Amino acid sequence: MGEKTIPILPCPSIPDVVGFYQALGFEVTHLQKQPNPYASLRYGGIELQFFGLKSVDPAVSMSTCYVVTDRVDELYTAFRGGLKQALGKIPTRGIPRIGQVKDTTYGVRQFLMTDPGGNCIRIGQPTGESLYHAPAPKEPFARALHNAWMLGISKGEPAQGAKILDRALQRESPASTAEHMRALILRADLADQLGDGELAARLLSEAAGVQLTDAERISLSDDLGRADDLRESLRG
């Protein structure tokens, strides 16, 4: 056997973390209650380990790891479905939560998931040869949309992302209907993260009224799926 790396992540409650990952379909390969709480979990080739640490505050945790896969959409569907079955809806905000699967500008298709311990698990599939960021778009609105996602979703600073997007929506015009739709759904997502359900619902209602061609619906399938999850979460 060659080398293998297994992340060991902190959490305040081993039972909560174990229950979360079991809902995703992970199997428990080791569980220790005494003297130190510890758990090992596996899903296919993904292995994660956790240690109990009561002082951990999930809301401010900086713990993270990256899972590289060649089946990101399959994992997204499985994990999203497991959470919906366990919780009755897709957790789009707070802790735990799961984000949108998305093609990024740095050569991966990925989604972010935060477990009950506040650990951010990034799961991605390479889509190109380079993992460096592509240049940001030159068009003002497209650039703002790009930066709002990078700051608000990927970096976890929704207030900053919302500020960028609000300014663009006030001052610039989207280049296409599809770009406008992406902006409405992203802004609704950011409003949801910030606890402004009323604004999120209004933006999603506006998005629902936008007329799209079949080709646009295909190109926006990831965003439209996220909009459906946000609507379901807000109804709950």
Per-residue model confidence (pLDDT) at position 1: 66
Beta strands in the chain (DSSP E): 8-11, 27-32, 38-43, 46-52, 64-68, 97-98, 102-103, 108-114, 120-126
CATH number, domain 140-235: 1.25.40
- Which tens digit of pLDDT belongs to each residue from 195-233? 999 999 999 999 999 999 999 999 999 999 999 999 999
Mean pLDDT of 138-153: 93
CATH number, domain 8-126: 3.10.180.10
Question: What is the average pLDDT value for the chain, to the nearest integer?
Answer: 94
Does the pLDDT value for residue 49 go beyond 90? yes
Per-residue model confidence (pLDDT) at position 129: 73
Write down the pTM of the prediction: 0.90
- Which tens digit of pLDDT belongs to each residue from 100-113? 999 988 889 999 99
Q: Domain spans of the chain?
A: 8-126, 140-235
Per-residue model confidence (pLDDT) at position 128: 81
Mean pLDDT of 15-37: 96
The answer to whether 187 and 166 have CB atoms below 8 angstroms apart is yes
